[in-house]
Amino acid sequence: MTAKEQLIIFDTTLRDGEQSPGASMTRDEKVRIAKALERMRVDVIEAGFPIASPGDFEAVKAVAEAVKDSRVCGLARALDNDLDRAGEALKGANAGRIHTFIATSPIHMEKKLRMSPDQVLEQAVYAVKRARRYTDDVEFSPEDAGRSEIDFLCRILEAVIDAGATTVNIPDTVGYNIPDQFGSLIATLRARIPNADKAIFSVHCHNDLGLAVANSLAAVRNGARQVECTINGLGERAGNAALEEIVMTVRTRQDLLECDTRLDTTQIMNCSRLVSGITGFAVQPNKAVVGANAFAHESGIHQDGVLKNRETYEIMCAQDVGWSENRMVLGKHSGRNAFRARLQELGVVLNSEEELNAAFSRFKDLADKKHEIFDEDLQALVTDTTLGITNERVKLVSIRVCSETGETPTAELVLALDGVEKAGTATGGGPVDATFKAIESIVESETTLKLYSVNAITSGTDAQGEVTVRLEKGGRIVNGQGADTDILIASARAYINACNKILQPAERAHPQTGQV
Protein backbone atom coordinates (compact mmCIF):
# COMPACT_ATOMS: atom_id res chain seq x y z
CA MET A 1 0.00 0.00 0.00
CA THR A 2 2.10 2.87 -1.31
CA ALA A 3 -0.15 5.78 -2.30
CA LYS A 4 -2.49 5.28 0.65
CA GLU A 5 -1.83 4.82 4.35
CA GLN A 6 -2.91 1.50 5.82
CA LEU A 7 -6.03 1.43 7.96
CA ILE A 8 -5.54 -1.32 10.54
CA ILE A 9 -8.59 -3.53 11.09
CA PHE A 10 -8.84 -4.75 14.68
CA ASP A 11 -11.55 -7.39 14.95
CA THR A 12 -13.10 -7.94 18.38
CA THR A 13 -15.83 -10.43 17.42
CA LEU A 14 -14.29 -13.03 19.73
CA ARG A 15 -14.18 -10.64 22.70
CA ASP A 16 -16.69 -7.79 22.53
CA GLY A 17 -18.91 -9.64 20.06
CA GLU A 18 -19.11 -12.56 22.46
CA GLN A 19 -20.58 -10.28 25.11
CA SER A 20 -23.94 -10.30 23.29
CA PRO A 21 -26.32 -12.26 25.55
CA GLY A 22 -26.30 -15.84 24.30
CA ALA A 23 -23.34 -15.39 21.94
CA SER A 24 -20.74 -17.23 24.01
CA MET A 25 -18.43 -19.39 21.93
CA THR A 26 -16.45 -22.50 22.77
CA ARG A 27 -12.68 -22.64 22.33
CA ASP A 28 -12.97 -24.59 19.06
CA GLU A 29 -15.59 -22.19 17.70
CA LYS A 30 -13.31 -19.25 18.48
CA VAL A 31 -10.46 -20.94 16.64
CA ARG A 32 -12.69 -21.55 13.59
CA ILE A 33 -13.69 -17.89 13.46
CA ALA A 34 -10.11 -16.72 14.07
CA LYS A 35 -8.84 -18.81 11.16
CA ALA A 36 -11.55 -17.33 8.94
CA LEU A 37 -10.51 -13.81 10.02
CA GLU A 38 -6.90 -14.70 9.30
CA ARG A 39 -7.83 -15.81 5.77
CA MET A 40 -9.56 -12.45 5.34
CA ARG A 41 -6.22 -10.87 6.35
CA VAL A 42 -7.55 -9.07 9.40
CA ASP A 43 -4.62 -7.26 11.01
CA VAL A 44 -5.43 -7.79 14.71
CA ILE A 45 -7.73 -10.41 16.26
CA GLU A 46 -8.81 -9.71 19.83
CA ALA A 47 -9.32 -13.28 21.00
CA GLY A 48 -10.81 -12.67 24.44
CA PHE A 49 -10.37 -11.61 28.05
CA PRO A 50 -7.98 -14.20 29.57
CA ILE A 51 -8.67 -13.34 33.23
CA ALA A 52 -12.44 -13.77 32.76
CA SER A 53 -12.38 -17.54 33.27
CA PRO A 54 -10.25 -20.64 32.66
CA GLY A 55 -12.31 -21.27 29.52
CA ASP A 56 -11.59 -17.83 28.11
CA PHE A 57 -7.88 -18.19 28.95
CA GLU A 58 -7.74 -21.50 27.07
CA ALA A 59 -9.59 -19.99 24.11
CA VAL A 60 -7.15 -17.06 23.81
CA LYS A 61 -4.23 -19.48 24.16
CA ALA A 62 -5.65 -21.76 21.44
CA VAL A 63 -6.24 -18.85 19.04
CA ALA A 64 -2.73 -17.48 19.73
CA GLU A 65 -1.22 -20.85 18.81
CA ALA A 66 -3.44 -21.43 15.75
CA VAL A 67 -3.12 -18.04 14.05
CA LYS A 68 0.16 -17.20 12.32
CA ASP A 69 -0.50 -14.34 9.89
CA SER A 70 -2.61 -11.99 12.04
CA ARG A 71 -1.66 -10.41 15.36
CA VAL A 72 -3.53 -11.93 18.32
CA CYS A 73 -4.62 -9.68 21.18
CA GLY A 74 -5.79 -10.29 24.73
CA LEU A 75 -7.72 -7.79 26.87
CA ALA A 76 -6.63 -6.91 30.40
CA ARG A 77 -7.71 -4.39 33.01
CA ALA A 78 -4.91 -2.25 34.43
CA LEU A 79 -4.29 -4.87 37.12
CA ASP A 80 -1.34 -7.19 37.74
CA ASN A 81 -3.30 -10.44 37.56
CA ASP A 82 -5.09 -9.42 34.35
CA LEU A 83 -1.87 -8.38 32.64
CA ASP A 84 0.07 -11.46 33.71
CA ARG A 85 -2.74 -13.77 32.65
CA ALA A 86 -2.92 -12.09 29.24
CA GLY A 87 0.83 -12.37 28.82
CA GLU A 88 0.69 -16.07 29.64
CA ALA A 89 -2.20 -16.73 27.24
CA LEU A 90 -0.35 -15.02 24.38
CA LYS A 91 2.95 -16.79 24.98
CA GLY A 92 2.52 -19.03 21.92
CA ALA A 93 1.48 -16.24 19.53
CA ASN A 94 3.53 -15.55 16.44
CA ALA A 95 2.67 -11.87 17.03
CA GLY A 96 0.90 -10.82 20.23
CA ARG A 97 -0.61 -7.68 21.70
CA ILE A 98 -1.89 -6.81 25.16
CA HIS A 99 -4.81 -4.38 25.25
CA THR A 100 -5.13 -2.77 28.67
CA PHE A 101 -7.70 -0.25 29.81
CA ILE A 102 -8.93 1.88 32.70
CA ALA A 103 -11.89 4.26 32.93
CA THR A 104 -11.25 7.98 32.53
CA SER A 105 -14.65 9.70 32.57
CA PRO A 106 -15.56 11.59 35.76
CA ILE A 107 -18.58 9.39 36.45
CA HIS A 108 -16.57 6.16 36.05
CA MET A 109 -13.60 7.35 38.10
CA GLU A 110 -15.78 8.63 40.94
CA LYS A 111 -18.60 6.08 41.05
CA LYS A 112 -16.99 2.87 39.81
CA LEU A 113 -13.25 3.06 40.41
CA ARG A 114 -13.39 5.42 43.40
CA MET A 115 -10.03 6.80 42.28
CA SER A 116 -8.76 10.31 41.67
CA PRO A 117 -7.59 11.33 38.17
CA ASP A 118 -3.96 11.29 39.34
CA GLN A 119 -4.38 7.75 40.67
CA VAL A 120 -5.95 6.62 37.38
CA LEU A 121 -3.09 8.15 35.40
CA GLU A 122 -0.52 6.46 37.62
CA GLN A 123 -2.26 3.09 37.28
CA ALA A 124 -2.47 3.44 33.50
CA VAL A 125 1.25 4.12 33.16
CA TYR A 126 2.06 1.23 35.50
CA ALA A 127 -0.16 -1.13 33.46
CA VAL A 128 1.47 -0.23 30.15
CA LYS A 129 4.95 -0.76 31.60
CA ARG A 130 3.96 -4.12 33.08
CA ALA A 131 2.40 -5.22 29.77
CA ARG A 132 5.69 -4.35 28.05
CA ARG A 133 7.29 -7.21 30.00
CA TYR A 134 5.40 -9.59 27.70
CA THR A 135 5.27 -7.78 24.35
CA ASP A 136 6.45 -4.63 22.62
CA ASP A 137 2.94 -4.21 21.17
CA VAL A 138 0.77 -2.63 23.85
CA GLU A 139 -2.55 -0.90 23.31
CA PHE A 140 -4.13 1.38 25.89
CA SER A 141 -7.79 2.43 26.07
CA PRO A 142 -9.26 5.15 28.31
CA GLU A 143 -12.65 3.55 28.92
CA ASP A 144 -15.60 5.90 28.33
CA ALA A 145 -13.33 8.34 26.51
CA GLY A 146 -16.38 9.76 24.75
CA ARG A 147 -17.53 11.26 28.07
CA SER A 148 -14.09 12.09 29.46
CA GLU A 149 -12.66 15.58 29.93
CA ILE A 150 -10.38 16.55 27.06
CA ASP A 151 -7.59 17.94 29.25
CA PHE A 152 -7.36 14.72 31.26
CA LEU A 153 -7.47 12.58 28.11
CA CYS A 154 -4.51 14.53 26.73
CA ARG A 155 -2.56 14.03 29.98
CA ILE A 156 -3.17 10.31 30.28
CA LEU A 157 -2.58 9.51 26.62
CA GLU A 158 0.68 11.46 26.56
CA ALA A 159 1.81 9.57 29.67
CA VAL A 160 0.96 6.07 28.35
CA ILE A 161 2.65 6.78 25.02
CA ASP A 162 5.77 7.81 26.95
CA ALA A 163 5.44 4.57 28.92
CA GLY A 164 5.49 2.49 25.73
CA ALA A 165 1.94 2.20 24.39
CA THR A 166 2.16 1.79 20.62
CA THR A 167 -1.60 2.14 20.02
CA VAL A 168 -4.00 4.42 21.89
CA ASN A 169 -7.63 3.54 21.41
CA ILE A 170 -10.44 6.05 21.95
CA PRO A 171 -13.62 4.14 22.81
CA ASP A 172 -17.14 5.51 22.68
CA THR A 173 -18.04 2.94 25.30
CA VAL A 174 -21.72 3.81 25.65
CA GLY A 175 -22.40 4.93 22.08
CA TYR A 176 -22.99 8.52 23.18
CA ASN A 177 -21.09 10.48 20.52
CA ILE A 178 -22.16 11.78 17.12
CA PRO A 179 -19.87 11.92 14.05
CA ASP A 180 -18.86 15.60 13.94
CA GLN A 181 -18.17 15.63 17.66
CA PHE A 182 -16.23 12.36 17.65
CA GLY A 183 -14.16 13.28 14.60
CA SER A 184 -13.31 16.60 16.23
CA LEU A 185 -12.23 14.77 19.42
CA ILE A 186 -9.73 12.66 17.47
CA ALA A 187 -8.37 15.70 15.64
CA THR A 188 -7.99 17.64 18.90
CA LEU A 189 -6.18 14.80 20.67
CA ARG A 190 -3.75 14.34 17.79
CA ALA A 191 -3.06 18.08 17.69
CA ARG A 192 -2.66 18.64 21.44
CA ILE A 193 -0.70 15.57 22.53
CA PRO A 194 3.04 16.32 22.01
CA ASN A 195 4.04 12.71 21.30
CA ALA A 196 0.94 11.78 19.27
CA ASP A 197 3.13 10.81 16.33
CA LYS A 198 4.67 8.00 18.40
CA ALA A 199 1.44 5.93 18.50
CA ILE A 200 -1.35 4.81 16.22
CA PHE A 201 -4.73 6.32 17.11
CA SER A 202 -7.56 3.82 17.18
CA VAL A 203 -11.33 3.99 17.77
CA HIS A 204 -13.86 1.55 19.23
CA CYS A 205 -17.45 2.71 18.77
CA HIS A 206 -20.65 1.20 20.13
CA ASN A 207 -23.92 1.36 18.26
CA ASP A 208 -26.42 2.47 20.93
CA LEU A 209 -27.62 5.34 18.71
CA GLY A 210 -26.93 3.54 15.42
CA LEU A 211 -23.83 5.67 14.79
CA ALA A 212 -20.93 3.26 15.38
CA VAL A 213 -19.85 3.06 11.74
CA ALA A 214 -20.42 6.78 11.11
CA ASN A 215 -18.43 7.73 14.22
CA SER A 216 -15.60 5.37 13.26
CA LEU A 217 -15.37 6.82 9.76
CA ALA A 218 -15.44 10.39 11.12
CA ALA A 219 -12.46 9.41 13.27
CA VAL A 220 -10.65 7.92 10.26
CA ARG A 221 -11.14 11.15 8.33
CA ASN A 222 -9.48 12.94 11.26
CA GLY A 223 -6.41 10.73 11.44
CA ALA A 224 -7.37 7.52 13.26
CA ARG A 225 -5.58 4.62 11.59
CA GLN A 226 -7.07 1.67 13.42
CA VAL A 227 -10.75 0.77 13.71
CA GLU A 228 -12.05 -1.80 16.19
CA CYS A 229 -15.07 -3.62 14.82
CA THR A 230 -16.93 -6.94 14.66
CA ILE A 231 -18.36 -9.23 12.02
CA ASN A 232 -22.06 -8.39 11.42
CA GLY A 233 -21.77 -5.59 14.02
CA LEU A 234 -22.10 -8.18 16.80
CA GLY A 235 -21.60 -6.96 20.36
CA GLU A 236 -23.13 -6.13 23.70
CA ARG A 237 -26.28 -3.98 23.79
CA ALA A 238 -26.80 -2.62 20.24
CA GLY A 239 -23.46 -3.95 19.04
CA ASN A 240 -20.28 -2.49 17.58
CA ALA A 241 -19.18 -0.96 14.30
CA ALA A 242 -19.64 -3.62 11.59
CA LEU A 243 -16.36 -4.68 10.02
CA GLU A 244 -17.91 -5.27 6.60
CA GLU A 245 -19.43 -1.77 6.52
CA ILE A 246 -16.20 -0.06 7.59
CA VAL A 247 -14.04 -1.95 5.10
CA MET A 248 -16.36 -1.55 2.12
CA THR A 249 -16.99 2.15 2.81
CA VAL A 250 -13.26 2.79 2.91
CA ARG A 251 -12.76 0.72 -0.25
CA THR A 252 -15.69 2.38 -2.08
CA ARG A 253 -15.00 6.00 -1.08
CA GLN A 254 -11.33 6.27 -1.92
CA ASP A 255 -12.09 9.74 -3.26
CA LEU A 256 -12.62 10.98 0.31
CA LEU A 257 -10.44 8.72 2.44
CA GLU A 258 -6.65 8.81 2.53
CA CYS A 259 -6.25 5.20 3.62
CA ASP A 260 -7.23 1.66 2.67
CA THR A 261 -7.22 -1.79 4.26
CA ARG A 262 -5.28 -4.86 3.20
CA LEU A 263 -8.27 -7.19 3.65
CA ASP A 264 -9.34 -9.83 1.15
CA THR A 265 -12.93 -8.65 0.93
CA THR A 266 -14.06 -11.76 -0.97
CA GLN A 267 -13.92 -13.57 2.40
CA ILE A 268 -16.49 -11.25 4.02
CA MET A 269 -19.57 -13.37 3.26
CA ASN A 270 -17.95 -16.58 4.52
CA CYS A 271 -17.02 -14.87 7.80
CA SER A 272 -20.49 -13.39 8.14
CA ARG A 273 -22.20 -16.75 7.65
CA LEU A 274 -19.78 -18.51 9.98
CA VAL A 275 -20.28 -16.03 12.84
CA SER A 276 -24.04 -16.02 12.33
CA GLY A 277 -24.17 -19.81 12.36
CA ILE A 278 -22.01 -20.24 15.45
CA THR A 279 -23.63 -17.52 17.55
CA GLY A 280 -27.19 -18.01 16.33
CA PHE A 281 -27.53 -14.27 15.60
CA ALA A 282 -29.19 -14.13 12.19
CA VAL A 283 -28.25 -11.38 9.75
CA GLN A 284 -31.25 -9.20 8.91
CA PRO A 285 -32.16 -9.25 5.19
CA ASN A 286 -31.64 -5.51 4.76
CA LYS A 287 -28.26 -5.48 6.51
CA ALA A 288 -25.67 -3.54 4.52
CA VAL A 289 -23.12 -5.59 2.53
CA VAL A 290 -24.00 -9.05 3.93
CA GLY A 291 -27.81 -9.01 4.15
CA ALA A 292 -29.78 -11.20 1.72
CA ASN A 293 -31.26 -8.10 0.08
CA ALA A 294 -28.01 -6.12 -0.10
CA PHE A 295 -27.70 -6.65 -3.86
CA ALA A 296 -31.34 -7.43 -4.68
CA HIS A 297 -33.45 -5.14 -6.87
CA GLU A 298 -37.26 -5.21 -6.82
CA SER A 299 -38.07 -1.91 -8.51
CA GLY A 300 -38.53 -2.17 -12.26
CA ILE A 301 -36.63 1.08 -12.77
CA HIS A 302 -33.72 -0.23 -10.72
CA GLN A 303 -33.74 -3.60 -12.50
CA ASP A 304 -33.68 -1.90 -15.89
CA GLY A 305 -30.80 0.33 -14.86
CA VAL A 306 -28.72 -2.51 -13.43
CA LEU A 307 -29.25 -4.62 -16.56
CA LYS A 308 -27.93 -1.75 -18.69
CA ASN A 309 -25.08 -0.84 -16.37
CA ARG A 310 -24.53 -2.31 -12.90
CA GLU A 311 -23.14 0.95 -11.54
CA THR A 312 -26.43 2.78 -12.07
CA TYR A 313 -27.75 1.35 -8.79
CA GLU A 314 -24.89 -0.69 -7.30
CA ILE A 315 -21.90 1.06 -5.78
CA MET A 316 -20.14 -2.25 -4.99
CA CYS A 317 -19.72 -5.48 -6.90
CA ALA A 318 -21.41 -8.38 -5.08
CA GLN A 319 -18.56 -10.74 -5.98
CA ASP A 320 -16.06 -8.40 -4.26
CA VAL A 321 -17.52 -9.27 -0.86
CA GLY A 322 -17.98 -12.98 -1.53
CA TRP A 323 -21.45 -13.17 -3.06
CA SER A 324 -21.60 -15.53 -6.02
CA GLU A 325 -24.22 -16.03 -8.69
CA ASN A 326 -23.43 -19.73 -8.92
CA ARG A 327 -23.27 -21.08 -5.40
CA MET A 328 -24.35 -24.68 -6.10
CA VAL A 329 -21.30 -26.82 -5.46
CA LEU A 330 -22.28 -30.36 -4.55
CA GLY A 331 -25.01 -32.95 -4.97
CA LYS A 332 -25.94 -36.51 -4.00
CA HIS A 333 -23.24 -38.01 -6.26
CA SER A 334 -20.41 -35.92 -4.81
CA GLY A 335 -17.70 -37.82 -2.97
CA ARG A 336 -15.93 -37.34 0.32
CA ASN A 337 -12.87 -35.63 -1.20
CA ALA A 338 -15.00 -33.13 -3.12
CA PHE A 339 -16.91 -32.43 0.10
CA ARG A 340 -13.71 -31.87 2.07
CA ALA A 341 -12.23 -29.69 -0.70
CA ARG A 342 -15.27 -27.42 -0.85
CA LEU A 343 -15.27 -27.01 2.93
CA GLN A 344 -11.62 -25.95 2.73
CA GLU A 345 -12.48 -23.41 0.01
CA LEU A 346 -15.15 -22.03 2.36
CA GLY A 347 -12.59 -21.76 5.14
CA VAL A 348 -14.18 -24.54 7.20
CA VAL A 349 -11.56 -26.65 8.95
CA LEU A 350 -12.75 -29.73 10.81
CA ASN A 351 -10.59 -30.81 13.72
CA SER A 352 -10.79 -34.58 13.34
CA GLU A 353 -11.80 -37.44 11.06
CA GLU A 354 -14.73 -37.99 13.42
CA GLU A 355 -16.07 -34.51 12.66
CA LEU A 356 -15.46 -34.95 8.92
CA ASN A 357 -17.24 -38.32 8.88
CA ALA A 358 -20.19 -36.96 10.85
CA ALA A 359 -20.48 -33.90 8.59
CA PHE A 360 -20.22 -36.03 5.42
CA SER A 361 -22.91 -38.38 6.70
CA ARG A 362 -25.20 -35.38 7.36
CA PHE A 363 -24.36 -34.07 3.87
CA LYS A 364 -25.44 -37.35 2.25
CA ASP A 365 -28.68 -37.32 4.23
CA LEU A 366 -29.32 -33.73 3.12
CA ALA A 367 -28.51 -34.55 -0.52
CA ASP A 368 -31.22 -37.20 -0.50
CA LYS A 369 -33.77 -34.56 0.54
CA LYS A 370 -32.47 -31.56 -1.37
CA HIS A 371 -31.29 -31.63 -5.00
CA GLU A 372 -29.11 -28.54 -4.89
CA ILE A 373 -26.59 -28.07 -2.08
CA PHE A 374 -25.38 -24.48 -1.67
CA ASP A 375 -22.49 -23.01 0.30
CA GLU A 376 -24.93 -21.73 2.92
CA ASP A 377 -26.24 -25.26 3.37
CA LEU A 378 -22.71 -26.54 4.00
CA GLN A 379 -21.98 -23.83 6.57
CA ALA A 380 -25.18 -24.65 8.47
CA LEU A 381 -24.59 -28.38 8.16
CA VAL A 382 -21.06 -28.20 9.58
CA THR A 383 -22.11 -25.90 12.42
CA ASP A 384 -25.00 -28.21 13.29
CA THR A 385 -22.71 -31.26 13.17
CA THR A 386 -19.97 -29.78 15.37
CA LEU A 387 -22.58 -28.59 17.86
CA GLY A 388 -23.84 -32.16 18.11
CA ILE A 389 -20.34 -33.53 18.67
CA THR A 390 -19.32 -31.05 21.34
CA ASN A 391 -22.57 -31.14 23.34
CA GLU A 392 -23.50 -34.77 23.83
CA ARG A 393 -25.45 -35.07 27.08
CA VAL A 394 -28.77 -34.94 25.23
CA LYS A 395 -29.29 -36.39 21.74
CA LEU A 396 -32.34 -36.63 19.53
CA VAL A 397 -33.12 -40.25 18.67
CA SER A 398 -36.55 -39.97 17.02
CA ILE A 399 -39.48 -37.58 16.76
CA ARG A 400 -43.11 -37.87 15.65
CA VAL A 401 -45.41 -34.85 15.57
CA CYS A 402 -49.10 -34.86 14.70
CA SER A 403 -50.94 -31.66 13.81
CA GLU A 404 -54.32 -31.45 12.08
CA THR A 405 -57.24 -29.04 11.83
CA GLY A 406 -59.44 -29.07 14.91
CA GLU A 407 -57.08 -31.30 16.92
CA THR A 408 -54.51 -30.42 19.59
CA PRO A 409 -50.97 -30.95 18.24
CA THR A 410 -49.06 -33.81 19.87
CA ALA A 411 -45.34 -34.56 19.89
CA GLU A 412 -43.79 -37.92 20.73
CA LEU A 413 -40.03 -38.20 20.88
CA VAL A 414 -37.15 -40.27 22.18
CA LEU A 415 -33.99 -38.66 23.55
CA ALA A 416 -30.74 -40.19 24.69
CA LEU A 417 -30.00 -38.51 28.04
CA ASP A 418 -26.49 -39.35 29.27
CA GLY A 419 -26.62 -42.44 27.06
CA VAL A 420 -29.99 -43.68 28.33
CA GLU A 421 -32.97 -43.52 25.95
CA LYS A 422 -36.10 -41.89 27.37
CA ALA A 423 -39.47 -41.23 25.74
CA GLY A 424 -41.64 -38.16 26.18
CA THR A 425 -45.05 -37.03 24.93
CA ALA A 426 -46.71 -33.63 25.15
CA THR A 427 -49.43 -31.51 23.61
CA GLY A 428 -49.17 -27.82 22.82
CA GLY A 429 -50.65 -24.80 21.14
CA GLY A 430 -48.79 -25.77 17.95
CA PRO A 431 -46.42 -28.50 16.76
CA VAL A 432 -43.30 -26.59 17.85
CA ASP A 433 -44.77 -25.86 21.28
CA ALA A 434 -45.65 -29.54 21.68
CA THR A 435 -42.13 -30.56 20.62
CA PHE A 436 -40.46 -28.26 23.14
CA LYS A 437 -42.76 -29.43 25.93
CA ALA A 438 -41.99 -33.06 25.11
CA ILE A 439 -38.27 -32.32 25.32
CA GLU A 440 -38.77 -30.54 28.65
CA SER A 441 -40.69 -33.53 30.05
CA ILE A 442 -37.45 -35.53 29.69
CA VAL A 443 -34.66 -32.99 30.20
CA GLU A 444 -36.32 -30.85 32.91
CA SER A 445 -34.00 -27.93 32.20
CA GLU A 446 -36.29 -25.46 34.02
CA THR A 447 -35.46 -22.76 31.49
CA THR A 448 -37.50 -19.91 30.03
CA LEU A 449 -37.81 -19.61 26.25
CA LYS A 450 -36.70 -16.08 25.29
CA LEU A 451 -36.49 -16.39 21.51
CA TYR A 452 -37.58 -18.72 18.72
CA SER A 453 -36.42 -17.73 15.24
CA VAL A 454 -36.56 -19.50 11.87
CA ASN A 455 -34.62 -18.52 8.75
CA ALA A 456 -34.59 -20.19 5.35
CA ILE A 457 -30.94 -20.78 4.50
CA THR A 458 -31.50 -20.73 0.74
CA SER A 459 -34.47 -20.24 -1.60
CA GLY A 460 -36.92 -22.94 -2.63
CA THR A 461 -39.50 -25.09 -0.87
CA ASP A 462 -36.83 -27.70 -0.13
CA ALA A 463 -34.58 -25.18 1.62
CA GLN A 464 -33.12 -26.00 5.00
CA GLY A 465 -34.66 -24.14 7.88
CA GLU A 466 -32.16 -22.77 10.38
CA VAL A 467 -33.68 -22.40 13.83
CA THR A 468 -32.33 -20.37 16.74
CA VAL A 469 -33.63 -20.95 20.26
CA ARG A 470 -32.63 -18.72 23.16
CA LEU A 471 -33.10 -20.06 26.69
CA GLU A 472 -32.59 -18.35 30.05
CA LYS A 473 -32.03 -19.86 33.46
CA GLY A 474 -30.99 -17.96 36.56
CA GLY A 475 -29.74 -14.99 34.56
CA ARG A 476 -27.67 -17.16 32.23
CA ILE A 477 -28.65 -16.93 28.55
CA VAL A 478 -27.69 -19.42 25.84
CA ASN A 479 -28.44 -19.83 22.15
CA GLY A 480 -29.10 -23.14 20.46
CA GLN A 481 -29.04 -23.79 16.73
CA GLY A 482 -30.40 -26.52 14.49
CA ALA A 483 -30.85 -26.96 10.76
CA ASP A 484 -32.87 -29.38 8.65
CA THR A 485 -35.24 -29.45 5.70
CA ASP A 486 -37.90 -30.48 8.24
CA ILE A 487 -38.51 -27.41 10.41
CA LEU A 488 -39.76 -29.48 13.36
CA ILE A 489 -36.58 -31.55 13.42
CA ALA A 490 -34.53 -28.34 13.14
CA SER A 491 -36.53 -26.86 16.03
CA ALA A 492 -35.97 -29.93 18.19
CA ARG A 493 -32.23 -29.89 17.45
CA ALA A 494 -31.98 -26.18 18.31
CA TYR A 495 -33.81 -26.63 21.63
CA ILE A 496 -31.68 -29.68 22.50
CA ASN A 497 -28.51 -27.80 21.61
CA ALA A 498 -29.50 -24.97 23.96
CA CYS A 499 -30.37 -27.47 26.71
CA ASN A 500 -26.95 -29.07 26.34
CA LYS A 501 -25.32 -25.69 26.90
CA ILE A 502 -27.47 -24.99 29.96
CA LEU A 503 -26.66 -28.42 31.41
CA GLN A 504 -22.93 -27.78 31.10
CA PRO A 505 -20.97 -25.51 33.46
CA ALA A 506 -20.69 -21.94 32.24
CA GLU A 507 -17.38 -21.67 30.40
CA ARG A 508 -16.89 -18.04 31.13
CA ALA A 509 -18.23 -15.10 33.07
CA HIS A 510 -16.93 -11.59 32.44
CA PRO A 511 -16.09 -9.62 35.54
CA GLN A 512 -18.41 -6.64 35.23
CA THR A 513 -15.86 -4.09 36.32
CA GLY A 514 -15.73 -2.28 33.02
CA GLN A 515 -15.47 -3.01 29.33
CA VAL A 516 -13.99 -1.00 26.49
Q: What is the pLDDT of residue 302?
A: 38
Give the rounded distance of the alpha carbon of 195 from its chain centre: 34
| 288: in domain | no
Residue 291: DSSP 8-state:
S
Highest mean pLDDT among 151-155, 342-346, 388-392: 151-155
Same structural domain for residues 323 and 415?
Answer: no
- The DSSP-derived string for 32-65 is HHHHHHHHTT-SEEEEE-GGG-HHHHHHHHHHHH
Residue 329: which pLDDT band, with cuts at 50, 70 and 90?
low
Q: What is the pLDDT of residue 337?
A: 82
**373, 366 contact by CB (below 8 A):** yes
Residue 3: which pLDDT band, with cuts at 50, 70 and 90?
low
CB atoms within 10 A of CB 232: 27
**482, 491 contact by CB (below 8 A):** yes
Provide the CATH number for the domain around residue 472: 3.30.160.270
**390, 26 contact by CB (below 8 A):** yes
Same structural domain for residues 147 and 212?
Answer: yes
Query: Does residue 315 have a pLDDT over 70?
Result: no
- Residue with the bigger pLDDT between 428 and 357: it is 428
What ranges make up the beta strands (E) of 293-353? 328-330
Q: What is the pLDDT of residue 507?
A: 56
Q: What is the pLDDT of residue 311?
A: 54
Query: Does residue 387 have a pLDDT over 80?
Result: no
Is 206 annotated as belonging to a binding site? yes
The last residue of a domain, from among 384, 409, 444: 384
**287, 29 contact by CB (below 8 A):** no
Provide the CATH number for the domain around residue 159: 3.20.20.70
The last residue of a domain, from among 326, 350, 384: 384
Query: Does residue 220 have a pLDDT over 70?
Result: yes
37: phi then psi, degrees, rounded to nearest 5: -65, -40
- The DSSP-derived string for 63-132 is HHHH-SSSEEEEEEESSHHHHHHHHHHTTT-SSEEEEEEEE-SHHIIIIII---HHHHHHHHHHHHHHHT
Same structural domain for residues 372 and 438?
Answer: no
| 293: in domain | no
Query: Does residue 331 have a pLDDT over 80?
Result: no
Residue 179: which pLDDT band, with cuts at 50, 70 and 90?
very high
| Domain housing 330 | 300-384
Same structural domain for residues 185 and 38?
Answer: yes
| 508: in domain | no
| 511: in domain | no
Once rounded to an integer, what is the mean pLDDT over residues 384-396? Answer: 72
Residue 401: DSSP 8-state:
E
Same structural domain for residues 208 and 255?
Answer: yes
371 three-state secondary structure: coil
Q: What is the pLDDT of residues 86-142, one digit of tens each?
A: 999 999 999 999 999 999 999 999 999 999 999 999 999 999 999 999 999 999 999
pLDDT more than 90, % of the chain: 63
Is 204 annotated as belonging to a binding site? yes
Query: Does residue 316 have a pLDDT over 90?
Result: no
Residue 301: which pLDDT band, with cuts at 50, 70 and 90?
very low
Residue 361: which pLDDT band, with cuts at 50, 70 and 90?
confident
- Return mean pLDDT, the chain: 88
110 Rama class: left (phi>0) / alpha (psi -120 to 50) / beta:
alpha
Q: What is the pLDDT of residue 354?
A: 81
- Residue with the bigger pLDDT between 87 and 515: it is 87
Which residue type, as a one-letter code, is found at position 351? N
The last residue of a domain, from among 329, 364, 384: 384
Same structural domain for residues 240 and 310?
Answer: no
Q: How far apart are CA 223 and CA 135, in angstroms?
A: 25
290: phi then psi, degrees, rounded to nearest 5: -110, -5
Q: How far is CA 371 from CA 221, 317, 331, 460, 463, in A?
A: 49, 29, 6, 11, 10
Residue 338: which pLDDT band, with cuts at 50, 70 and 90?
confident
| 284: in domain | no
Number of domains making up the chain: 3
Same structural domain for residues 210 and 327?
Answer: no
Q: What is the pLDDT of residue 373?
A: 74
pTM confidence score: 0.82
Helix spans in 114-265 (H) = 117-131, 150-163, 179-192, 212-221, 243-252
| 73: in domain | yes
Residue 392: which pLDDT band, with cuts at 50, 70 and 90?
confident
| 229: in domain | yes
Q: What is the pLDDT of residues 41-84, one digit of tens each?
A: 999 999 999 999 999 999 999 999 999 999 999 999 999 999 99
Is 108 annotated as belonging to a binding site? no
Same structural domain for residues 137 and 158?
Answer: yes
Query: Does residue 164 have a pLDDT over 80?
Result: yes
Q: Among the listed ranges 358-362, 388-392, 446-450, which one has the minimum average pLDDT value?
A: 388-392
Sheet of 394-402: strand order equals 394-402, 410-417, 420-427
| 471: in domain | yes
Is 16 annotated as belonging to a binding site? yes
Q: What is the pLDDT of residues 493-513, one digit of tens each?
A: 999 989 998 888 765 545 444
Number of H helices, E strands in the chain: 16, 18
